[in-house]
Amino acid sequence: MKKKLSIKLRITLWFTIFMIATAAISLAFLFSVGEMQSQRDSEQVLRSAVEKSFQEIEYEDGSLEIDEDLDVYKDGIYISVYDDAGHFLYGRIPYAFPTDAAISTDKMIKISNDAGTWYVFDHVQIYSGYGNVHVRGITSAAIAQSAFSTLHRLTAILLPILVLISVLGGYWLARRAFRPVRQIVETAESISHSGDLTLRIQLPPGKDEIHSLANTFDGMFDRLEETFQKEKQFTSDAAHELRTPTSVILSQCEYALENATTVEETKEALICVQQQAEKMARLISQLLTLARADNGTQKLQKELLNLSELTEIICQQQQEYASAKNITMETAIQQDILFHGDETMLMRLWINLIENGIHYGKENGHLTVSLSKEQNRIVGRVIDDGIGIGPEHLDKIWQRFYQVDTVRNPNQNSTGLGLSMVKWIVEAHGGNVSVQSHLGAGSTFTFAIPIS
Ligand code: ADP
C-alpha cells in the first residue's frame, strides 16, 4: 500500500527540489558566463603579448633580427616565432606542447593532449624582403581555469552543506507552521472520543490563516455546545412538564378506584383527569410543532386570507375569557387586510398573545388588540394593563418552557411554550416580534410581518 507523505515532508521535499534546481541553474549559468569571460580575457592578454613581440623583430640587411628584449616567457605566456613554412625560429614553448600544432591566424584556439590544455594565439606580419613572420603566444588553460576549479571545488563542498541546512531549516519551519494544525486535530479527536463539548483549541493569539481556522472551529464548538445544551434542557423540561399531569392523572385514578363511592366523586376525579389530559394533549401538540419547526419539516400552508376577519373572529372567541375577568377588550382592526399566510399558525399566534394578555391582565383591566397595514408590513399589537414583566425576564420569555413566576400565576394551561411558538410563527413568515413591559403597569407585544 502506498504510504502518503505528511504535508510537512511534502513541502520540505518540494522546497529542496526547487532549491537544488535553482542553485544548479544559477551555478551553470554563472560558470558558463565566467568561462566565456575568462577565455575572452586570455585571448586579450595573448593578443597584446603577441602584437608587442613584433616590435622586437626587424628585417635589416637581408637578415631577420630578433632583439633579446623579446620576452619569451612572461606572466605565464610563452612566445615563439616561426617563418612562413612553420619552422621554429626563436622563442620558448611549454614543455609537452605539441610542436606540430598548425599555425592559425588571429583567432585563439584551444589545444589539448595528455599532458595538458593550452590557449594558443597566432599572428602574422609581412616583412618586406623576407616574407611572413608568425608569432605564437601560448598560455596554459589550467592557469586560467584554476580560479574556476577552486570555485568548482568550493561549490561541490558548499552546495550539499547549504542544501542540507535548508532542508533541515525548511522541515523545522514546516513543523513549526503545522504545530497549530496538530493542536486542532488533537482537540477534534478528544472531542469526538470523549464527547466533551467544553474543550477548545485555544491557540495563543495570532492572525494567520491557521489561527483564523482554529478560531472558526472554536466558534463552531461554542455553537454546538450551546445547541446541545439547549437540546438537553428542552428534553428534560419536556419530560418534567409531562410528568406532572401524568402523576396527577395516576393519583386521581388511584383515588377514584379506591375511595370514590358515589357517581359525583368519580365524576370529579374524571374531570380532573380530563383537564390534565387536555393539558398534556396541548403540550404534546406544541412540542410536535416546535420539533417539526426545528428540523424544518413544519412547513407553512400559505394561502391568501383576510387577516382582518381572522383577527376579528379570534377576538370574539376570546371575549368570553376576558369577560370572566371583567377585562374590557377593545379592537382597532384595519379592514380587509389581505395576506398570504398560514391560517392555523396565524390563529395560534393571536390566541397565544391574547390569552396571555387576559391571563396576566388584572381583574377589571383593559386589553387592546390592533392590526394595521404600515407601508409594506402588517403590524399587530396586543396591549394589556396587567402585571407586566420585570426587565431581567424580558429577553428570556421567548425561550422554551421559560415562565417568569409559576407560583404567582398558577394556570392550568401554562406551558411556557406559548411565546416561543409566537416567535417561531412570526419569523417563519419573515417578520419579527418584540415586547415592551413595565412591572405592574402592563405589557405591549408587537409583531411586524412583511406583506410580500
Ligand atoms: P405561558 O404558558 O407560561 O404563558 P408563554 O411562553 O406564553 O408561556 O409566556 C412565558 C412567560 O412570559 C409567562 O410565564 C409569563 O410570565 C410571561 N408573560 C407572557 N405574556 C405576558 C403578559 N402579557 N404579561 C405579563 N407576563 C407575560
Q: What is the pLDDT along the chain (452 residues), one digit of tens a residue?
A: 455 778 888 888 888 888 888 888 988 888 888 888 888 888 899 999 999 999 999 988 888 888 888 889 998 899 999 988 888 899 999 988 888 888 887 888 889 888 888 999 999 999 888 889 999 999 988 776 776 777 778 888 888 888 889 889 888 988 888 888 889 999 999 999 998 889 998 888 888 888 899 999 999 999 999 888 888 888 888 888 889 889 999 999 999 999 888 999 899 999 999 999 998 998 898 888 888 887 777 788 999 999 999 999 999 999 999 999 999 999 999 999 999 999 999 999 999 999 999 999 999 999 999 999 998 999 999 999 999 999 999 999 999 888 887 555 555 667 888 999 999 999 999 999 999 999 999 999 999 999 97
Give pTM, 2 decimals.
0.58
Which amino acid belongs to residue 299? K
| Nearest protein Cα to ligand 1, atom 13 | 403
- Report whether 108 contacts 43 (CB < 8 A): yes
Ligand 1 mutation target, pool 349, 360, 394, 395, most atoms within 8 A of CB: 360
Name the strand (E) or helix (H) holding 141.
helix 141-194
Task: Pick the residue whose CA is nearest to atom 3 on ligand 1.
Answer: 416
Q: What is the pLDDT of residue 413?
A: 67
Among 384, 392, 397, 444, which residue has the most ligand 1 atoms within 8 Å of its CB, making it the best to mutate?
397
Q: How far is the CA of 360 from the centre of ligand 1 (A)?
A: 7
CA 344 to ligand 1 centroid distance, Å: 21
Closest atom of ligand 1 to 357 CA is: 23
Mutation pick for ligand 1 pocket among 406, 411, 415, 419 (CB with most ligand atoms within 8 Å): 419
DSSP 204: P
Q: Which of 403, 405, 421, 436 most suits a substitution to test ligand 1, by most atoms within 8 Å of the C-beta?
A: 403
| Atom 20 in ligand 1: residue holding the nearest Cα | 356
Pocket test for ligand 1, best of 348, 400, 404 (most atoms within 8 A of CB): 404
Residue 431 burial (CB count, 10 A): 18
How many angstroms separate the alpha carbon of residue 169 from the centre of ligand 1?
A: 66
For residue 138, the surrounding DSSP H or E stretch is strand 131-140
Cα–Cα distance for residue pair 245/265, rounded to 1 Å: 19
- Distance (Å) from CA 433 to ligand 1 centroid: 14
CA–centroid distance, residue 397 to ligand 1 (Å) = 7
Q: What are φ and ψ of residue 47, in 5° steps?
A: -60, -45
What's the confidence (pLDDT) of residue 114? 87
User: Ligand 1: distance of its center to the CA of 348 in Å?
Assistant: 15
Q: According to the model, what pLDDT value does residue 177 have?
A: 83
Ligand 1 centroid from CA 327, angstroms: 17
| Spatial distance between the Cα atoms of 357 and 367, rounded to a whole number of angstroms | 7
* Contacts of residue 221, Cβ cutoff 8 Å, sequence gap at least 6: 191, 197, 199, 200
CA of 305 to the centre of ligand 1 (A): 28
451 C-alpha to center of ligand 1: Å? 28
Query: What is the torsional sign of CA 419, 425, 426, 427?
Result: positive
Query: How many Cα atoms occupy the beta-carbon half-sphere of 101 within 13 Å?
Result: 23
Which of 355, 356, 381, 398 to mutate to test ligand 1, by most ligand atoms within 8 A of the CB atom?
A: 356
Distance 347 CA to ligand 1 centre (A): 18
Nearest CA to ligand 1 atom 1: 416
Q: Which atom of ligand 1 is nearest the CA belonging to 404?
A: 16
Residues framing ligand 1 (Cβ under 6 A)? 352, 356-357, 360, 384, 386-389, 397, 402-404, 414-420, 443
Contacts of the segment 54-58: beta carbons below 8 A, 24+ positions apart: 54/123, 54/125, 54/133, 54/135, 57/81, 57/125, 57/127, 57/133, 57/135, 58/127
Where does residue 219 rank: exposed (0-12), middle (13-18), buried (19+ CB within 10 A)?
Answer: exposed
Closest listed residue to residue 304, CA positions, set 339, 336, 348, 334: 339
CA of 372 to the centre of ligand 1 (A): 24
